[in-house]
Amino acid sequence: MHDTKSLAGKAALVTGGSRGIGAAIVRRLASEGASVAFTYAAASAAADQLAAQVGASGGKAFAIRADSAEPAEVQAAVAQAAQRFGHLDILVNNAGIISNGSVDHYALADFDRIVAVNVRAVFVAVQAALAHMGEGGRIITTGSVAADRTAVAGSSAYSMSKAAVAGLTRGMARDLGPRGITVNVVQPGPTETDIVSDEAVRERLRPLMALGRMGSGDEVASLVAYLARPEASYITGAALTVDGGYLA
């Protein structure tokens, strides 16, 4: 666990927080003193285990079941977190899906779902959170370097969704700047999570990074935690890559 308690007294909600990068973010925010609610869509056992692990380490976390494709469930999750904590200081929009396919065969239903989860859910969560967030609030979204570089065929819809998030971030930063709320997007490169679990795929990806390796969820979480701290108050509207030099 991280020693610094720079987020003591802060209340956070992390969507898609039961595994991978999301779970690393939950652990990191809790280790810095924040009380953390996080959503999960189906992995109830993993969510319960994560909450228990955070509690055993001296942190505070609880899980909320919510499908980010359903606006009402996202809104209800925000309301539940805000009711539990009395306020909301940090919103991390981490929930996301990958659905690849060539544009000539990509199903419209798959297109609609990737937009619903990766883009619309961000907008819905932010709208809902603002009713409970005051000056000094932090809104952070997990995007992707795919917003800037589509290196793999079949990634058109996914890349579009992450580019949309980057544009949405810039616009919201303008809207919310006068309220003292910062809005940023963190753009990970290839990261060793269960989304990229095939070792053969990882071997192909590693040489693409300047550092010759993929990142870890903890390394992404460290940037999210920095943006959540008071010291990051002058950073807003930014798309910050954590990619080992993938875009270099």
Of 40, 106, 158, 234, catalytic: 158
Question: What count of residues does the chain have?
Answer: 248
DSSP bridge pairs for 38: 14, 63
Interatomic CA distance for residues 118 and 16, integer angstroms: 11
DSSP bridge pairs for 6: none
Q: How many CA atoms lie within 13 A of 142 on its CB side?
A: 30
Burial class (CB in 10 A: 0-12, 13-18, 19+), 230: exposed
Residue 158 known to be catalytic: yes
Strands (E), 109-177: 138-142
> Tell me, what amino acid is at 118?
N
Nearest CA-CA partner of 194 in 53, 2, 24:
24
Interatomic CA distance for residues 62 and 54, integer angstroms: 9
> Tell me, what amino acid is at 22?
G
Q: Which residues are the active-site residues?
A: 158
